[in-house]
């Protein structure tokens, strides 16, 4: 799940975290006109869930910051699944380019 981390914040509650600016695709994200901050990664996560992992919808919440992506909740398995999806994107420039293009074509603002 690298570079994401899944931590148990209190017994039974989990957070999936990504320090912004630490992925292999940060430069590609910038070339696409975005900043690889927590809000961008939240947009990517929401888009992935809506288009590729609908079974995850509603199973966790998001709490991004400029310096960090965060998804949290009690459903560890759902956060692990999201972590695996995002982890693959953080290492694949072609994949991130495709996701950004598809999100833009769908009218999704990735920088909310």
The average pLDDT across 1-16 equals: 97
> Contact 29/96 with Cβ under 8 angstroms?
yes
User: Average pLDDT of 74-82?
Assistant: 98
3-state secondary structure of 69: strand
Kindly indicate the confidence band of residue 34, based on its pLDDT and cuts at 50, 70 and 90.
Answer: very high
Average predicted confidence (pLDDT) for the chain: 96
pLDDT at residue 112 tops 80: no
82-106: average pLDDT:
97
Question: pLDDT band at 111, cuts 50/70/90?
Answer: confident
Residue the block writes with tokens 């293009």: 101
The residues spanned by each domain of the chain are 5-105
CB atoms within 10 A of CB 5: 12
Asked whether the CA dihedral 27, 33, 39, 43 is positive or negative, the reply is: negative
For residue 75, pLDDT over 80 is answered with yes
């Amino acid at each position: 799940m690298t570079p994401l981390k899944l931590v148990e914040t209190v017994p039974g509650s989990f957070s999936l975290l990504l320090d912004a600016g630490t992925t292999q695709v940060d430069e590609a994200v910038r070339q696409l006109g975005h900043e690889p901050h927590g809000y961008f990664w939240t947009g990517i996560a929401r888009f992935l869930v809506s288009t590729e992992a609908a079974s995850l919808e509603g199973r966790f919440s998001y709490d991004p910051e400029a310096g960090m992506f965060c998804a949290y909740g009690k459903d560890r398995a759902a956060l692990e699944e999201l972590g695996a999806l995002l982890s693959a994107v953080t290492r694949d420039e072609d994949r991130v380019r495709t996701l950004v293009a598809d999100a833009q074509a769908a009218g999704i603002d990735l920088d909310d």
